[in-house]
Amino acid sequence: RTPQGDEGPQKEKPAQKRNPCVNAFEHGPLGLRPNPLQSLWIWFALGLSGGVYIGILPLKGPTGAIWFLWITLLVLRQVPGSLRAVRMNAHLKRQELKRLSLVELQSLGATQPYQRYLGDGFDWQPQHAQWAHELLASGGPAGAQGCAWVHQLARRHEALYQPLGETEGHTLIVGTTGAGKSRTFDLLITQAISRGEAVIIVDPKGDPDLRCSARRMLSALGRESDLVIFHPAFPKESVRLDPLRNFNRPSELSSRIATAIPSTNPSDPFKAFGQRALDQIIQGLLFIRTRPTLKEIRRILEGGPERLMLKVLEHHLKDVLGSAWKARIPQGTRGRNSSSQVTSLASYYREQIATRHPAMALEGMLALYEHDRNHFGKMVASLLPVMNLLTTGVLEDLLSPNPLDRDDHRPITDLGRVIERRQVAYLGLDALSDGPAAAMIGSLLLSDLTAVAGERYNAGTSESPVHVFIDEAAEVINEPCIQLLNKGRGAGIRMTIATQTLADFSARMGSDARALQILGNVNNLIALRVTDADTQRYVTQNLPRFRRRTILRTLGNATLGPEPHQFSGNLGERLIEEDADLFPPALLGQLPDLHYLGKLAGGRIIKGRIPLLTDDSHA
């Protein structure tokens, strides 16, 4: 049952209540085509009537008239079914490209303010599955291109809506290249912007169409200033974004950076040591009330922690002994250079201060400072390339903004501020030019977003939803993103992620089990054209099964003796029922562009078609 009251084929009486000896699907696509045996009767009748007309058959007088009338009635009886078959075949071969203007989309949103528009289509029912299996077995209607006929199995199409409350369960979009993932994003993003909600678009490829669609909708609403663009390929147009701005605990920042360290072993000692070093450096910076930046952390890793160690010691001694702390310590503990100063002040701290006023951040920095330099350099060898990628070229100022730089007039922002102001952030990562850097930036930003979600949840400020759209999600997805999928609902985070195949998640996360963690946290699925067999099976196996019906017809004859007239014959029909896929997997690989099969939260299954959004002047 559809909410719009679709009165198409799904409203007809169930086939099981009819006589199985009669074609139970006479109102379906195959049933509207004449039965082969019926066609044989038609040709027989036409031949017989032709023979009467030309005088081959001596049927004259009243007997001939009766024969002719009977043959005519047989022919006329087949005409309605043949006409229905012609109309249905013409209906199945229709291929339309629906276009929708922004004004029309806003009008749909005004009439259904608590619904999300998903294009036009119908609820997929078992009778549609029956017809799809039959048509697929017969090759489809004559002259039909591809499998566009799947969308025509319903005689009427209605606007498809989904309650906004169901989007809290997140959405997965799968589809091969060119199937329509970007246009689906376009439709969903435009609606979220029109509702005045915060939108974050993570686009590893840097698709200009997504950026233009966001700008187009904001311009229509008079909110051009609410568009925030971050794109390393266009540094002059980009804002400066601080990925370390939001955190609840200092350890979050070290793990945020460590996720970008390449590793195939979860217990990699180099990665663990690198994360520990990052944590000690970050805690040291925060101890002296300095906000950590990627550029500052790299400087300390490459140049050594000596300068930071000295500042941490001086800061703690000042807090404990007061502003005149230098006059209160012995003259011999001050040292002549920075190295000797650190050694002298560290000894004084341990002997005079540590027992009464210990500082864990200072203790951690001392452990890092006193670590063997050669061993330290080897252990952070895998961390330094990551820091170099994130702090060289245009990324140096884009990801480590300096608010005191008066020569750089580009605005500085972060994801927390974007969400608070209900802005639209387009984060293009330029993966085609620099894939490793794009993956690292995406992971950092998603980790930052997870911290913002935690703040929103703890502060109870999750009433306004935040929509996060991630195209080619396998490029950037990480452990914090899985946590966001798992627990982001309480913070008002509604995620929509897109990928080409499920194998992309397995390759990114390192195992099928980790990929299933992602899929297990997604309640809404939109499957466009999918050519990967494993992804096809995943989509169709998550649908309920149905009882497929097949009519088996038998025809036989045999002679009983030497005489030609001694023979026997039989004609039979048998109705067979068997379990089958509600949507044939092969059809997923043959769907036209913008066509999709959807499984929504709550179990509703729809067959839809995404419209192309156009400017009002081209609608």
Predicted confidence (pLDDT) per residue in 148-182, tens digit: 888 888 888 899 999 999 999 899 999 999 899 99
Residue 523's pLDDT is: 93
Compute the distance between CA of residue 70 and CA of residue 133 in angstroms, rounded to an integer: 37
Residue 19's pLDDT is: 32
Task: State the helix-helix crossing angle for 512-520 and 479-487, rounded to 10 degrees.
Answer: 30
pLDDT digits (tens, 9 = 90+) for 524-536: 999 999 999 999 9
Going through 131-246 in order, the beta strands assigned E by DSSP cover: 158-163, 171-174, 198-203, 227-230, 240-241
Token pair for 68: 């002719």
Token pair for 335: 């040292």
CA angle 115/121/127 to nearest 5° reads 120
Mean pLDDT in residue range 514-530: 92
Token pair for 200: 């974050």
* Mean of the per-residue pLDDT values of the chain: 83
Q: Quick check: 429 and 206 in contact, CB under 8 A?
A: yes
CA angle 133/136/139 to nearest 5° reads 150
DSSP one-letter code for 562: S
CB-CB neighbours of 569 under 10 Å:
8
341 membership: H or E segment, kind and range: helix 338-348
Provide the pLDDT confidence category of residue 188 given band limits of 50, 70 and 90. very high
Q: Hey, which of 7-16, 151-160, 218-227 has the most confident mean pLDDT? A: 218-227
pLDDT at 13 over 70: no
pLDDT at 250 over 70: yes
DSSP one-letter code for 570: E
Residues 6+ away with beta carbon under 8 Å from 278: 253, 254, 257, 258, 297, 383
Task: State the helix-helix crossing angle for 294-303 and 269-287, rounded to 10 degrees.
Answer: 110
Residues 6+ away with beta carbon under 8 Å from 196: 422
Compute the distance between CA of residue 338 and CA of residue 336 in angstroms, rounded to an integer: 7
Q: Quick check: 118 and 173 in contact, CB under 8 A?
A: no
Residue owning tokens 């024969």: 67
Residue 15's pLDDT is: 39
Q: What is the DSSP string of 44-68?
A: HHHHHHHHHHHTSS---HHHHHHHH
Q: Within 13 A of 339's CA, how many CA atoms are on the CB side?
A: 2
CA angle 219/444/217 to nearest 5° reads 10
Length of the chain: 619
Bridge partners of 389, per DSSP, are: none
